[in-house]
Structures are given as structure tokens and as C-alpha cells.
Structure 1
Amino acid sequence: VFWQTDSSPSTDQNFISEAWAYTYGGTIPQNKHPTASGQVSIRVPSLYGTYTVYYCKNGGYTCPSSITVKVINPNICKRPTSITSTVKHIIIIISENHSFDSIYGRYFQATTGSKPTCNFGPSCCEAAPNSVSGSSSITLTDQQNVLYGPNKRASCQLCEIDNGLMDRYVTGCSCSNSSNFAIADSTSAAGYYSWASSSAIADNFFQSAIGASSENDMYFATGKFVLLDNNVIAQNPNLNGARCYTKNFKSYYSTTIADLLNYCDIDWTFYAEGYDQNPNSTQCYPNYYDATDNPFTYFPNLINSSERYSKNFRDYTNLYSDIRAGKLPAVSYVKGLGIHSEHPAYGTLTAGETISQDVINAISESHTYRKNTVIFLLPDESGGFYDHVSPPSSSTIDNQPYSPRILFVAVGHQIKKIMFHMFKWNRRV
């Protein structure tokens, strides 16, 4: 089959290790054999550098030739003249492992499946159903969150989603469990209820890919699929936060969002709780800093195992001193320890909400930052908890199937109280 060169079908997965993205060749079949010569559209990162682009066939299994492409002067730093926003700082607070319904399923009040079009108040978003597969929801109290953690691996989520039917969380899969259908109440989710009443929320923001935390954390760093589940550990056991591991280490060298920020002279920092403790091989997750919670640590060009201190990798406590000193970077990521990140089986919802509220308070009390900073609250993935909305089809960015909805809250002086009903968002900053 010969394809036109303006667009293309994408392969199901990337067969070239370390590849940045897929090549594309066209979507309109001409029903004839390829010519001896021709053209193909290619994509490379918008960053200065030299890249190898592979020509592949047979569904991506064989790649007989390649070409070197040099990006000399990418036009990625110029601020569009049409932008009038006065936002100068963004803070992304990353919690762990909860679906939209598991947090907001009882706060919102519209009938399940009604697809409300209004944008203000609890009646403008669907509630979770009263029962799933004959089981009523259990209350996701802080105690319940500590007692039980659902299976969130890709194979499990794929089974539970059941081609968008969302009907195998309670029964039907080896990982199904009635505790997967759990919904927080106004006590355990008090912070989230408060932010919902005063901030902006998206109710169609989906987990970037089917799979566990490390896989989805990578979307904060690269905006695309890099690794499956939690199968790979950052760099080597000499790296801060990696000493508890003995195998499956991996380093990556593809372009990250941090590379783009650095290229454009935009400052950024990942503030991780417990980073300065520099834990030894017996001080492990969830009570100590873990490098796998910080996707940027997989990239030696950003930090390597011989470096501990960096302006880009700092302890969470430095966030507050940077705010007080007027040194907050333009882009900040915040991640609590496993016991403080809302992670099921390890910590409470309240502990994670406390971190988020502390950051919100610090910004709102700052004369320097309260009017020019936006804070985004979102988990890395849905954690195996039930959500009733079917995910969209696979992303056109990396061909990965979306997973269940996760919450997305925006807080700040310039943020209006509103409910956004987007069709789909991919997690890219």
C-alpha cells in the first residue's frame, strides 16, 4: 500500500528502543506498491540538536534506512504577541493514584450519563453511579485509603476498562475487587471539596496512558510514552533516591520539557519532599525520597549520580524559602513522600491535601506571587480506582490508549470558578 505524504497512520507501538516519536507517512491508501523513490513526512524535537530519523515498514518491525536531521534554529522561545496573560509562574503539585470519581463522585450531583453543559456548581458535573456490577461504593476514608491499594498495572487497567465499558472493576478480572469502587466523602476529601467550590476543575482530563505511576510520571517530563508501569529505575544505585534498588536501572537521552525550558532560559525546579535526606539503601519508599517519583532523574543530561545538589532538584522545604526570598522559578513541580502523596496503602488523602493547601497558602500570602501564579493539582494516575466515563481513543502523540479520568484542579488569583468539559486533555506542560 502506498500512502500520500501529508499525514499517516501510526504504528501500535515503538519498535526502536530510545526513539523519540513515530514517523508518519500518510493516511490515504493508493492501493499500489511503493515507488522506487518518493517523499515521507518526518517529525523531530523542537530543540537544537542532531537526530536520527528511521524509515520503517512492515508495521514498524523493520527499519531498513535512516537519515540524520539537524535542527539549527528552532523557533520555540518567542512569546506570541497575542498572549495577554500576566501569569509568570506555574506550580504543578503531583499526588498519586486516584480517579476522578474516587475523589469527586459524591460531590458532583448531575445524573450519571446526563452530560451537563453548564459550568458552575456541583450540578454541572456527573455524579458516580450508585452501584457497579451490583455493588455499592464504599467510603474512601483516610483509614480505607491506608488499608487498601488497588492494582494499577497496565494489564489490570486494560481488563477493567473493558474497551470503554468500565464494567470490570468489581468483578471480571483477576485484579477486580469491590474496594476498587471507593468514593471519598466530605471529610477525607475536605480540601478537594473546598477547591471545587472556589477554583476551576476539568471533568474530562484523562490519565495519559494505561499503566502505573512511573509510566505516567514520564508525561510530566516528556509528554509521551517512555516506559511501562514501574518497570525501570532511574540511572543507577548511586543516584539520590535509587539506593534501595539493585536492578532494572535505565537512563534516557531524549528531549524533555526541561530541555525546552533550559533552551529558552526559563527556570524550573522539581521540589521533592525528603530530597535532602539523601537516603541510604535501607531508607526506602514510602517513608523516604524515591527517585522514581521524579521523572527528570532518568535523564543524565539533567542530573547524574555524581550530583546531589542542583538548582533544578531541591528539597520540598526550599519551595517556601524560595517564595519568601522572591526566587520562585517560572515552573515548579512539587511531590510529597509516598506517605504524604495520597498513595493508597501508604498514606491518607488528608496528608496530600495538606501539602497542596500549604503551597496554596504560601502563594496567596505572598505579595510577590499571589497575583501572577497558577497552581495545578493532579494525580499521576487513577490508581486502579473505578471511574464511570470511558476514556477517549489512543493519543495521536504516542499512540498510547488513554486510561480513566483523573482530577485536574487549577487554583490562583486569575483562575475563575468554572467546570471545564473538555473532550480530552493529554498531560503536557
Structure 2
Amino acid sequence: MSLLTGCSNGPTMPTQQSGQNPFGKIRHLIVLYQENWSFDSLYGYFPGVDGIKNASPTAVQQVDKNGKPYTTLPQPLNNNQPDSRFPANLPVQPFDAAKYVTPDLMTGDLVHRFYQEQYQVDGGKMDKFVAWSDAAGLVMSYYDATNLPEGKLAQQYTMGDHFFHAAFGGSFLNHFWMICACTAKFPNAPTTLVAQLDSNGQMVKDGAVTPDGYAVNTSFTVNTPHPSDTPTANLVPQQTMPTIGDELSAQNVSWAWYAGGWNGALAGHPDKLFQFHHQPFAYFANYADNKPAKKEHLKDEQDFLAALQDGTLPAISFVKPLGTQNEHPGYANETGGQQHIADLVKAIQASSVWQDTAIVIAYDENGGRWDHVAPPRGDRWGPGVRVPAIFISPFAKRGVVDHTVYDTSS
């Protein structure tokens, strides 16, 4: 959050002050927020990173839920069915998915939920990804994205190889942690939504809400937009914790969240791949349907492109592409998602703001895929598995790998 508040709407700082403030020359920060890949599963072979070649035998070895080592990887699954594009009985090690399914095609989705990720990490041993996945051996697959569109950008600028998603589990919770470093409260949630744990804290029944009333898996807001078929009792109540948006507004720093498909969703005809749970500000009372801040700060991705062209871009921009363009396995292909981000970067570089802009390409979470680096020990919420981060700016170091440890709330 300190990085975000380093931007300002005011005049350029004096030279002396800029020298004291490493962000003094940056007037615009743009976060391009993608989906569902671990670091190793895209950049495990990127030059100079802590990649797959550094993985210990223990981190590579996978064991079942009882601790018995797998002798081969079980058949990768797609929607709980064997994916015949992949061979059965692959060795227990990371494998190049492009040999079987090229990155311009789609693989299946993989489970990425709050409790399951903790079991997969297994106290830092990283050895139960296969056991707790609904995609079996697919969790050990990777694409070498070094020469895909975003990888080429990373070669030109700075790659971060120790960036961890802030909270265990999926997109819903990690979008919250991106904007408030907090977990949504859902007291008195319907029992059908509440997970059940045994006396040892092990999951007996999965659920969207913890036994003590926190929403940790995909849930929808009582505000609009939300899926029209969601029972009212299942909608998360308005949240009141402070967000980065509130902090920016309090400091008179302009900002906006730009989401692909937002206008259609607000109008009641959402794109079939619009993700309601990827819109974290919409869950908060300050951005409720009757609040002016909703219209002021929550916008469509097309508004981002328009603001670039007419010179009205706010100091802070969060850009959340539509499902077909966000790299999420199961409904986006990797090449297309990366090309969309590269096109956005190209548009930024061609605009009047490029000379004073920093761009961060980040991923919300690992999408259930294996990584060899254990996340730092934190608290009950996370952090989760390592994800890619790419830093692009006229001020960014060129061709550098940054090994600094970050998480989504850094």
C-alpha cells in the first residue's frame, strides 16, 4: 500500500524531494491483475530466476493424503474426467504441458480453495498438490512462458520471482486481500455454506464460510451486480473494513477499478464469463448501489482505454480483464490472455502517461498449480503459493530478476 500512496495528483515534486522519494517521478500506477498460475508453472525456466531447476527432490516428490509417495502421476483430469490429450503414468516431476496441449488451447481448471491449498502446501513441503487437486497430475504441468507476450516484456523490464499471493485459496479471497488485506465477514451465514472442521482443524465438509464466520471461498455480494439466481440468504452482507480505495480518496489521490464486462453486468446482461467475485470493491458499503463513489471509482475496462486516449487516467488504476482474457485455465487460453495484457501495455506505452507510469502485472493466486518454493509462514489466512509479478516502467531496471519477497498486500 505504501507503493500506491507514493503517487499523487499534484505537480511534480521538487528535485530534492524526488531524490528522497524513490517514487517521486511516478505519477501513475497501473495494476494489471491476471489469474491462476503459480510462478513455476509459467516462469520456472525464465533466465535467472529461482526456478524448477532449483527444486529439491522433496518439493518435487508428491505423496497421497496418507503420505505414500506416488510412483507416477495420475492421469490429468478435465471436469473430473480423464483428459485424453495427456498421457497416463507420467513421471512424478514437473512436465511441459505444451507437448500435449499448446498454450493457445485450454487445459482444464484446477481446484483452488482455502483449505485445499493449505493441505497442498503441507507445512512447506509442497508435496500434496496432486493429492488435494481435482485435476490430478495436471497440477505438475507448466508452460515455459519466457517467450510468450508477457514473458518478452519481463525480459525487457523486471521479473519478481518471490511474490506470493496473500491468502490461501481462490480469486474471491485474494481480491479482497489486494484491496484491504482483510477477509470478508459473513456472520450467521446459512449452514449450507459453512465448512465443518474436526477437533484437529481438518476439513470434514468444505464450504464458502469458515465456522467462525469469514467468507473464504467464492461468494457474492448483496450489492449489484451479483448472479440473479443466487438466494438472498447466500449473499455476503456489505463490508465496512477500510480499503486501499478509501485510503487513496482520503489523501485526494484519484483511482479507479476497471473491469472487463462491468457495464454489461451492471445493466443486467453480464457476459457469460464475467466474474462477479472478481469485483472486490462492490462488496463494500462505501461502494454500495446508492453511493456516488460506486459510479466514480468502479468502471469498465473500455473506460480505462478511453481515459488513456483522452488524458484523464487517474493516478491509480486497477485493471481486471474479462474471463476470456485473464489467463484463467478452463475458460481462457494462455496465449490469448498474455496477448491481451501485452496489448494493454502497448496502449499505455503509446499514451501521454507512459513517461511517468509504473505497471505491475500480477496474478491473484496460483490456480491450484504446484510451485517448489514454500510460502513464508504467516497466519491463518496466508500467504499462499508463489505467483508471477512483472514490473514495467521507464524507471524499471532492464533485464533484471528481483528476488525480494512480496505478497499481494505489499
Normalising by structure 2, we get a TM-score of: 0.73
Q: Does structure 1 residue 197 correspond to structure 2 residue 178?
A: no
String of CA shifts for 1:236-262, please: whole Å, max 9, x gaps. Answer: 4xx135435334212101111111111
Q: 1:167 to 1:379 in 2, by over 3 A?
A: same
Q: Residue 409 of structure 2 corresponds to which residue in structure 1?
A: 428
Task: Quote how far apart the aligned CAs of 1:390 are.
Answer: 0.6
Q: Residue 185 of structure 1 corresponds to which residue in structure 2?
A: 144
Separation (CA, whole Å) in 1 of partners of 2:373 and 2:183: 22
Q: Does structure 1 residue 161 correspond to structure 2 residue 121?
A: yes
Pairs within 5 Å for 1:314-393: 314-366=299-351, 368-393=352-377
Separation (CA, whole Å) in 2 of partners of 1:219 and 1:335: 15
Q: Which runs of 5+ in 1 are unaligned?
A: 1-45, 47-76, 109-121
Separation (CA, whole Å) in 2 of partners of 1:147 and 1:127: 21
Q: Which has the higher contact order (CA 8 A, sep 6+)?
A: 2
The Cα RMSD (Å) is 2.9
Q: 1:159 to 1:245 in 2, by over 3 A?
A: same
Task: Quote how far apart the aligned CAs of 1:402 are.
Answer: 1.5
Q: 1:383 to 1:330 in 2, by over 3 A?
A: same
Rg larger in 1 or in 2?
1
| SS of residue matched to 1:407 | strand
Q: Residue 259 of structure 1 corresponds to which residue in structure 2?
A: 246
Q: Give, as a single letter, the amino acid of the residue that structure 2 aligns with 1:209.
A: A
Task: Quote how far apart the aligned CAs of 1:284 are.
Answer: 5.6
String of CA shifts for 1:331-388, please: whole Å, max 9, x gaps. Answer: 001111112111111111122212211221112112x211101110011111100000
Q: Which runs of 5+ in 2 are unaligned?
A: 3-7, 63-90, 185-213
Q: Give, as a single letter, the amino acid of the residue that structure 1 aligns with 2:175.
A: D
Indicate conservation of the 8 Å contact 1:218/1:295, yes or no. yes
Separation (CA, whole Å) in 1 of partners of 2:29 and 2:293: 25
Task: Quote how far apart the aligned CAs of 1:300 are.
Answer: 2.3
Task: Quote how far apart the aligned CAs of 1:195 are.
Answer: 1.8
Q: Residue 243 of structure 1 corresponds to which residue in structure 2?
A: 228
Separation (CA, whole Å) in 1 of partners of 2:26 and 2:170: 32
- Structure (1/2) with the larger helix percentage: 2
Q: Give, as a single letter, the amino acid of the residue that structure 2 aligns with 1:273.
A: G
Q: Residue 88 of structure 2 corresponds to which residue in structure 1?
A: none
Q: 1:86 to 1:306 in 2, by over 3 A?
A: closer
Task: Quote how far apart the aligned CAs of 1:283 are.
Answer: 4.3
Q: Residue 410 of structure 1 corresponds to which residue in structure 2?
A: 391
User: % of aligned pairs identical?
Assistant: 24
Q: 1:411 to 1:216 in 2, by over 3 A?
A: same
Q: 1:407 to 1:364 in 2, by over 3 A?
A: same
| SS of residue matched to 1:203 | strand
Normalising by structure 1, we get a TM-score of: 0.70
Q: Give, as a single letter, the amino acid of the residue that structure 2 aligns with 1:139.
A: A
Tell me how many residue pairs correspond in the alignment.
330
Q: Does structure 1 residue 302 correspond to structure 2 residue 287?
A: yes
Q: 1:279 to 1:267 in 2, by over 3 A?
A: closer
Task: Quote how far apart the aligned CAs of 1:311 are.
Answer: 2.5
String of CA shifts for 1:128-148, please: whole Å, max 9, x gaps. Answer: 559644424141555686231
